[in-house]
Amino acid sequence: MEYIAGVDEVGRGPLAGPVVAAAVILNPNKNIFGLADSKLLTPKKRETLAAQIQQDCIAWAIGRAEVQEIDELNIFQATLLAMRRALEKLSIRPMHILVDGQHCPKISFAVSSFKAIIDGDNLVPVISAASIVAKVIRDAEMVEWDEIYPHYGFAQHKGYGTKQHMLALQKYGATPIHRRSFAPVRECLKKS
């Protein structure tokens, strides 16, 4: 069987935390209803779907790029790295890969086709599935970071540069999970 993997990432825009990518191979014999871009779903719906995807799919895997890698490489390269890691962790090698966005990561195995699709997380169910799994996993991690650094509001904004987050950065400075290569964090560090 020629398996099709969908790949998407979450966390390019935040000022803190890793970039998390998921690769998913759906089971054509098990329909999952309600797949859509993870950003368009409520947190409860995302969590329900993520659990169903993980249970019913043929294979899924997560790849990450940590804050230090984001700062060393840049966010674009770190995103491709997270996607590559997710694909290479799959327990089954797909023959076709569909990626959300404009760029495909380099991988170490041969495939029949590799295609980047703009708005793929909204248009292609297997990419939507990857988007949902990645978002649920990253969001849960940011909630855990909120317990360690409670002044920043990570549980609410997941690391994005909200007004609350910016005020906390100015008042308390940057944490080890802040991306120092991102301008708002860099500016904050200059002032402290």
- Contact between 136 and 149 under an 8 Å Cβ cutoff? The reply is no
User: By percentage, how much of the chain surpasses pLDDT 90?
Assistant: 96
Q: How confident is the model over 109-124, as a mean pLDDT?
A: 95
In this model, does residue 192 exceed pLDDT 70? no
The DSSP code sequence of 80-117 is HHHHHHHHHH-SS--SEEEEESS-PPP-SS--SEEEEE
pTM (2 d.p.): 0.95
Q: Which CATH class is domain 4-149?
A: alpha beta
Share of the chain residues as helix, strand and coil, in percent rounded to the nearest 5: 45, 15, 35
**pLDDT tens-digit series, residues 129-182:** 999 999 999 999 999 999 999 999 999 999 999 999 999 999 999 999 999 999
| pLDDT at residue number 46 | 97
In this model, does residue 191 exceed pLDDT 80? no
Domain residue spans in the chain?
Answer: 4-149
**pLDDT tens-digit series, residues 50-105:** 999 999 999 999 999 999 999 999 999 999 999 999 999 999 999 999 999 999 99
In whole angstroms, what is the distance from residue 161 CA to residue 125 CA? 29
Written as one letter, the residue type at 170 is: Q
Other C-beta atoms lying within 10 Å of the C-beta of residue 91: 9
Handedness of CA 151, 153, 159, 161 (dihedral sign): negative
Q: What are phi and psi of 37, to 5 degrees?
A: -55, 130
